[in-house]
Amino acid sequence: MSDAKQKMPAYRHELKYYLNQGEYTLLHQRLRHAMEPDENARKNGGEYFIRSLYFDDYDDSALRTKLDGMDNRDKYRIRIYNMRDDVIKLERKHKKEGYILKDSLSLTRDEAEALIGGEYSFLMEHPEPFAKVMFGAFAGGLRPVVIVDYLREPYVFPLEDVRVTFDKSIRTGYRSVDLFNPAIVTYPVIDGYDMVMEVKFNRYLSTYIRSLLQTGSAQQSAISKYCLCRKYEL
């Protein structure tokens, strides 16, 4: 029984908020005294750069299901950090009934570039069951559509595996899918706000953490950085 429970998918809650600079300053001061930066942030001076290359099919199913408000949907991406190629993740983010599940597997740079170029047969050679899932997704017509860039400042708290992130300087490289090129032209995508705060947790968010996150003005919203970064196409 315990083994079966351990194998259950790790669905999590996810809340998102638009923040302006004033709200960020208030929350930053609170969280840095009450929570710890995650391991990668500690190694990189408190924040790190994330670049994701999102994939969609020729019907733009991931984009359309989000815009239509469907609650059972998937997004697919390759993600790198600080423009390095030593850690490359192929990820699927699945939403079901308000909960989020993220699956991932590690890629080499050659494998990432193969996927960008439309070659995915190597996924059948990966031992992870998720690789077979991704093989099916790519066989269904996934192709690279947009780059999403931002700086992330993350904080963690052990109770219910809480993770709070401030995602700053969100930009799109919508005219390029050149994942490993630091010189591509990018454009800001948020008007009137400075950043996005994401709050992820397992079963519940404690009263203590909720009190830390109160600003009185931050706007909770069903934000999708993927959709924001494709807005120039719509």
Distances, alpha carbon 89 to alpha carbons 29, 51, 70, 92, 139, in Å: 31, 11, 26, 10, 19
Distances, alpha carbon 41 to alpha carbons 10, 34, 79, 146, 166, in Å: 23, 16, 16, 25, 12
pLDDT, tens digit, 9 for 90 and up, residues 100-156: 999 999 999 999 999 999 999 999 999 999 999 999 999 999 999 999 999 999 999
Q: Residue 1 above 80 pLDDT?
A: no
- In angstroms, the first-to-last Cα distance of the chain is 49
Looking at residue 4, what is its pLDDT? Answer: 42
When pLDDT is cut at 50, 70 and 90, the band that residue 44 belongs to is confident
What CA–CA distance (Å, rounded) separates 88 from 111?
10
Counting residues of the chain whose pLDDT is more than 90, the rounded percentage is 82
Beta bridge partners of 88: 80
